[in-house]
Chain A
Amino acid sequence: MRKYLLSRLAQIPPVVFGVVTIVFLLIHLIPGDPVEIMLGESAVPAQREELRRELKLDRPVLRQYGEFLGGLVKGDLGVSFRSREPVLREILSRFPSTLLLAAASLFVALLLSVPLGVLSAMRQHSPLDHLCAFLAMLGLSLPNFFLGPLLILVFSVHLGLLPVAGYGTARHLLLPALTMGMGMAAILMRMLRSSLLEEIRQEYVRAAAAKGLSRRAAVLRHALKNSMIPVLTVLGLQFGALLSGSIITETIFSWPGIGRLTVQAIDARDYPLVQGCVLFIALCTVAVNLMTDLLYSRLDPRIRHE
């Protein structure tokens, strides 16, 4: 286990280094003069010079890169040039609401996918299985920027049950969590179905049945536990997708998280903040993927012995 842990941890520094380098280069990709784009044409030369100094764009690129890395080590992601607040502080103040939304979406996804996945695997090729397959396909094909407005249309406009947007109560959380959770539920349901079907055919399920256990009990008590291992992996890997998916969902529901902060930063051409948000989300994804891998190796001993 220790060998596996060490080899997996050794993969992290090059990935983090690469991600940081790409994010650093973003601001240098801007065609033309970034300062002119950020300030607009009406800015006077003195303002431009000041911003250039502030963003350290007046120095050689390699030195800028060195200072960017040095700042990161100290947790300094720069200063938002609109609010003048440190970028990291802005991000951290929004992070709890994004985490809350992500956790609620995961909950919705599990709540929908586990019962439907189990049912469709236990009744393979039945009309119920076909219905679940169609629902999963629908969930996979409904992008969150359409599902969100659709849910608002049904639950807020027509039924008047839930608020259109906002933050603060469980009622505000429901629609954004459904928007983000449905697509994930579809992926998990398909995954669980195929993984459970494979487990059901294993000898130990037949042995449990031969000992007198009902088929339902054999599946629920034995096969389900084993079939959840790949599902948990996908769940972990999807967490990163949830964070980037929050960019659209938070915009639709005016949810005050990192996703909305990213879009606001893009609209304001606040590139240090854009850089910070992208870097933060990417690094969170790297961390969650690492944790998923380690959890996977704990749950399935075959992985760490390979």
Chain B
Amino acid sequence: MSKRGRSRGNNVLARFRRHRGAAAGLGFVSALLLVALLAPWLSPYNPSAQELDSGLSGPSSSHWLGQDKLGRDLLSRLIHGSRVSVAVGLGTVGISLAIGLLTGSLSGFLGGRADHLFMRLADILMAFPGILLAIAITAVLGPSLRNVLIALSLLGWVGYARLIRAQVLKVKEMEFVQSARAVGSPPARLLLAHILPNALSPIIVEATFGIARAIVAEAGLSFLGLGIAPPAPSWGAMINEGRHFLFVAPHIAVVPGLAIMAAVMAFNFIGDGLRDALDVREQIP
């Protein structure tokens, strides 16, 4: 890396570190990733093991966060549920980003008919608000991790593609790209070596917020019974089970709810920090 590149990287890192929320968010996300990775070793009980006679019990020395209606250990279910949230968050953004990068950059770079066609397709998919299409798709495909990933990515890629397209359109008119074109740089090299690396900042920021959105969407689907098939633990499904016992055992819904809130907040703080550090202008949310 050149000296100038390194100093820009250091500046970004320094600005990110100054954002206290982002630093705390990064700490939480690192811990979350570790918990998800080490779930089988960290969880004190089998998350599906039932102790029916102690169902709905509150926190105790043997069950730190209490037990659900079937007497399953909430801490173990929370730990295993983190795997689903992390897998869906990273998986959805990874798939959506890959499709979005390919379609958005080609659409912006090539222009013409391909671009027009892409924009119309994007308009159609964007007409489905929120997670409506994902609800419809998982309702017909059935609940499973794979189907959740399909449903969320099917709509998720459009936002990235539009953002990447807009970035490519902006960067390809810049002087350094025009100079590279003038000295005979082939189109693929122009796109991969000159345009895309300079178009990535807002995409990185958006992807961070995207992980938070995917975690909420999966939990929402699982809340409706359309996410991960039971008895596998998912934070959204745990809230749904718990909301029927708010009068007698509120901890069953509150514990996974706090976990979702903390995870989403952590990714949002990191996104905010990255936006400031990378100097990306605030976009309409």
* B285 and A191 contact, CB distance less than 8 A: yes
* A187 and B285 contact, CB distance less than 8 A: yes
- The residues of A that contact B272 with a CB separation of less than 8 Å are 137
Cβ of B196 under 8 Å from chain A: no
* A282 and B128 contact, CB distance less than 8 A: yes
Complex alpha-carbon distance, A145 and B218, angstroms: 12
Query: 1/0 per position for A185-197, CB-CB distance to B under 8 A?
Result: 0010011001000
Which of A138, A191, A243, A286 is most buried by chain B, counting CB atoms within 10 A of its CB? Answer: A286
What is the interface of chain A, defined by CB distance below 8 A to chain B?
11, 14-15, 18-19, 22-23, 26-27, 29-31, 137-138, 140-143, 145-146, 148-150, 152-153, 157, 164, 187, 190-191, 194, 230, 233-234, 237, 240-241, 243-245, 247-248, 251-252, 262-263, 266-267, 271, 274, 278, 281-282, 285-286, 289
List the B residue with the shortest CB-CB distance to A285. B129
Q: A-side binding surface: helix, strand, loop or mixed?
A: helix
Complex alpha-carbon distance, A289 and B124, angstroms: 12
Complex alpha-carbon distance, A286 and B128, angstroms: 8
* B129 and A243 contact, CB distance less than 8 A: yes
The 6 closest A-B pairs by CB, nearest first: A18-B124, A240-B129, A244-B130, A146-B257, A141-B265, A244-B132
Seed contacts A18-B125, A140-B264, A146-B260; 9 additional CB < 8 Å A-B pairs:
A19-B127, A29-B141, A141-B212, A141-B261, A141-B265, A146-B253, A240-B129, A244-B129, A244-B132
Given A191-B284, A233-B284, are A31 and B141 also a contact pair (CB < 8 Å)?
Answer: yes
- The residues of B that contact A187 with a CB separation of less than 8 Å are 285
What is the interface of chain B, defined by CB distance below 8 A to chain A?
21, 120-121, 123-125, 127-133, 135-137, 139-142, 212, 216, 219-220, 223-226, 236, 239-240, 242-243, 246-247, 250, 253-254, 257, 260-261, 264-265, 268-269, 272, 282, 284-285
- The residues of B that contact A26 with a CB separation of less than 8 Å are 136-137, 140
The distance from the CB of A229 to the nearest CB of chain B, in whole angstroms, is 12
- The residues of B that contact A152 with a CB separation of less than 8 Å are 243, 246
- The residues of B that contact A30 with a CB separation of less than 8 Å are 140-141
Complex alpha-carbon distance, A278 and B236, angstroms: 22
Complex alpha-carbon distance, A200 and B282, angstroms: 17
* A245 and B130 contact, CB distance less than 8 A: yes
Complex alpha-carbon distance, A243 and B142, angstroms: 23
- The residues of B that contact A153 with a CB separation of less than 8 Å are 246, 250, 253-254
- The residues of B that contact A251 with a CB separation of less than 8 Å are 224
